[in-house]
Structure 1
Amino acid sequence: MGGGSSPCASCKLLRRRCAKDCIFAPYFPPDDPHKFAIVHKVFGASNISKMLQELPVNQRADAVSSLVYEANARMRDPVHGCVGAISYLQNQVSQLQMQLAVAQAEILCIQMQQQQQQEPAAILPPQLYGDDKSSLLMSTSAAAFTSNLDSLQQLQYQLAGFTSSSNAAAAAAAQDPLKRESLWT
């Protein structure tokens, strides 16, 4: 950037003269010194320079954006960086999917209960149906419906139990030593 204009953020931080062909100048403008400072702190100026020189010019801006993002993530979480943020978000997605499955199971149970309440003929005793064929058909469909409802309620219970952490069960067992012992004896 020479020629009397302000040096880029990199050259300003490193306290050196900004050359006309400075590799950092297009990506680290003088009005955003924090951008280079954080990348320099995490990766080092010579590593950044090597990375940028190895890339085609049309990919360098994207690389700098990625370096800035990773440097910010490393400052927040020095061990995991971006991977820690991704893992956290994946866990949240899994928990939300499980909650959605539980909610959908609950909706299905409610719908089946409402359907059962709207069809009272299906639960009448066989002697009130009339002919034997219709009574057999209605009692069979009522039994199947009740069986499906029971299965859905069991599934709902299992899903609800699956979403709660095993830590809750361990904490409950730890609060009552007799319960804990009864699990192992």
Structure 2
Amino acid sequence: MTSTRCAVCKYFRRRCPPDCIFAPHFLNDNQQRFTCVHKIYGASNLGKLLQDTPMQLRAVAVESLYYEAKCRIQDPVYGCAGIIWSLHQQIQIAQSQLARARAEIAFLDANVAVEEPTPNPGEPVVQQSGVDYGLDDPYDFWFY
């Protein structure tokens, strides 16, 4: 015989009413989800919160509470704020690296612009291809 009680009613060993506010969000097959949320917020507070939350937002609220509860259990001091802080630090490091890379690119672009000769007005522009080795044939250096 399979139980039709939700995880909350199963946890409290009571009959699950047809209009149970917890049933859509805490299914029977995922007891640890409710246990985690119950450990941090308590069933009474959770029930009040769900009743005060509009029906269309309840699933999102339960997901958020579950995530926050898991984080608080893993890190009792900082919880999800510790994860947010860590991600913020990673963003700052990446922004700093990006700024350094952009500065280096700008520096290299400026050096290339200085090294390239600018043609005089009226003088024809000659395009050079390849590398100038100072030899007639670029492959002559293999034979020296």
TM-score where L is the length of structure 1 = 0.59
Match of 1:26 among 16, 24, 27: 24
Higher helix content, 1 or 2? 1
Structure 2 residue 95 is matched with structure 1 residue 97: yes
Q: CA deviation at 1:64?
A: 0.7
The 5 Å alignment of 1:2-17 reads 5-17=3-15
Match of 1:50 among 26, 48, 51: 48
The corresponding residue for 1:149 is none
Structure 2 residue 105 is matched with structure 1 residue 107: yes
The 5 Å alignment of 1:52-71 reads 52-71=50-69
Q: CA deviation at 1:38?
A: 0.6
Q: Which runs of 5+ in 2 are unaligned?
A: 120-144
Identical residues among aligned pairs (%): 47
TM-score where L is the length of structure 2 = 0.74
Following TM superposition, where does structure 1 have runs of at least 4 consecutive aligned residues deviating by more than 3 angstroms?
none
The corresponding residue for 2:70 is 72
Measure the CA separation in 1 of the matches of 2:117 and 2:32: 69
Q: CA deviation at 1:104?
A: 0.7
Q: CA deviation at 1:119?
A: 2.4
Deviation string for 1:54-101 (max 9, x for gaps)? 222222111111111111111222122222111111111111101110
CA RMSD of aligned residues (A): 2.0
Aligned residues: 119
Quick one: which amino acid aligns to residue 86 of structure 2? Y
Q: CA deviation at 1:49?
A: 0.8
Q: Which runs of 5+ in 1 are unaligned?
A: 122-185
